[in-house]
């Protein structure tokens, strides 16, 4: 009190405090939503980048390996003799005559990860590990792994030239479909002849976007975010095509 007059104390009213707290709350919620959206976009972009990176690497490897592979014997009479899809194992084999490729598809790998019964019994694995292969490249000039019928489960991983081409990583990329078309043989091109290979493969991330048939989606698309069990932000899928010539010696 000054000179008999009471001086009013300065401060915020309840209304002012309420308005300030409301504004801060809205700001924090907005920031949180923005961060969540940025995280989803980043995660989706990382998944797409990983699939495309693995796809380009496989295209290069297929192109180089097939280019140095022998044209014969037998490719002209039975185009699929050295390309096999194993329904029971949910994987496949492709034997070029220099190296063979062996894989478990994405549906199989997802089932193994999720502990589905009896899947491990039929998976492709190496002799040095009980871990399923994703895409194993094995030195196999005699095409042993395609001439052995359906009894191939364990691959000799001790070989120097046995290499896993799709390593386990954060995005968990796997092959969902791979098809090799019957090669076109041209024996008149030169002394050893040439064969034109055309192949296509679908790569995708593991997860709940996998359909019953093994493909993520019939149209090579991820499930919509609103679909049950969707892992949309972690889902990426792409199809790759390659045409190349085999010109190696027999």
pLDDT in tens, 174-229: 998 888 888 777 665 444 567 788 999 999 888 766 665 555 666 677 777 777 77
Residue 21 lies in a domain: no
Give pLDDT, residue 151: 58
What is the CB-side half-sphere exposure of residue 22 using CA atoms within 13 A? 6
What's phi and psi for 162, nearest 5 deg?
-95, 115
Residue 22 lies in a domain: no
Residue 99 lies in a domain: yes
Q: Is the pLDDT of residue 50 over 80?
A: yes
Give pLDDT, residue 10: 63
Rounded distance between C-alpha atoms, residue 134 and residue 112, angstroms: 12
Number of separate domains in the chain: 1
Across the chain, mean pLDDT equals 78
Whether a cis peptide bond, with omega within 30° of 0, leads into 142 is no
Residue 191 lies in a domain: yes
Rounded distance between C-alpha atoms, residue 169 and residue 30, angstroms: 33
Domain of residue 164: give its range: 46-246
Give pLDDT, residue 53: 92
- pLDDT tens, residue by residue, 143-185: 888 876 655 667 766 665 788 899 876 568 999 888 888 877 7
Residue 2 lies in a domain: no
Q: Is the pLDDT of residue 231 over 60?
A: yes
Give pLDDT, residue 76: 42
Q: How much is the average pLDDT of 104-129?
A: 79
- pLDDT tens, residue by residue, 57-105: 999 999 999 888 877 645 444 555 788 887 666 788 998 888 999 998 8
Give pLDDT, residue 216: 62
Q: Is the pLDDT of residue 128 over 80?
A: no
Q: Give CA torsion, residues 128, 132, 138, 142, to 10 deg.
A: 100
Q: Note if the pTM is more than 0.85.
A: no
43: left (phi over 0), alpha (psi -120 to 50) or beta: alpha
The answer to whether 74 and 64 are in contact (CB under 8 A) is no
Residue 111 lies in a domain: yes
């Amino acid at each position: 009190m000054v000179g008999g007059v009471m001086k009013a104390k300065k401060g915020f009213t309840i209304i002012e405090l309420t308005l300030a707290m409301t504004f801060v709350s809205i700001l924090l919620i907005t920031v949180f939503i923005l961060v969540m959206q940025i995280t989803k976009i980043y995660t989706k972009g990382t998944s797409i980048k990983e699939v495309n990176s693995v796809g380009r690497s496989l295209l290069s490897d297929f192109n180089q390996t097939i280019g140095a592979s022998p044209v014969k014997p037998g490719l002209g009479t039975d185009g699929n003799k050295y390309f096999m899809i194993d329904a029971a194992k949910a994987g496949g084999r492709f034997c070029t005559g220099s190296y063979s490729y062996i894989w478990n598809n994405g549906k199989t790998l997802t089932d193994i990860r999720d502990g589905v019964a009896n899947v491990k019994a039929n998976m492709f694995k190496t002799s040095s590990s009980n871990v399923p292969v994703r895409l194993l490249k094995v030195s196999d000039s005699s095409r042993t792994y395609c001439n052995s019928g359906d009894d191939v489960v364990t691959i000799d991983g001790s070989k120097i030239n046995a290499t896993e081409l799709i390593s386990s990583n954060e995005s968990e990329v796997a092959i969902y479909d791979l098809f090799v078309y019957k090669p076109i043989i041209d024996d008149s091109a030169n002394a050893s002849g040439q064969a034109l290979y055309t192949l296509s493969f679908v790569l995708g991330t593991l997860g709940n976007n996998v359909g019953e048939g093994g493909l993520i989606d019939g149209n090579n698309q991820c499930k919509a975010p609103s679909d049950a069990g969707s892992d949309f932000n972690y889902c990426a899928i792409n199809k790759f095509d390659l045409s190349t010539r085999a010109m190696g010696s027999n």
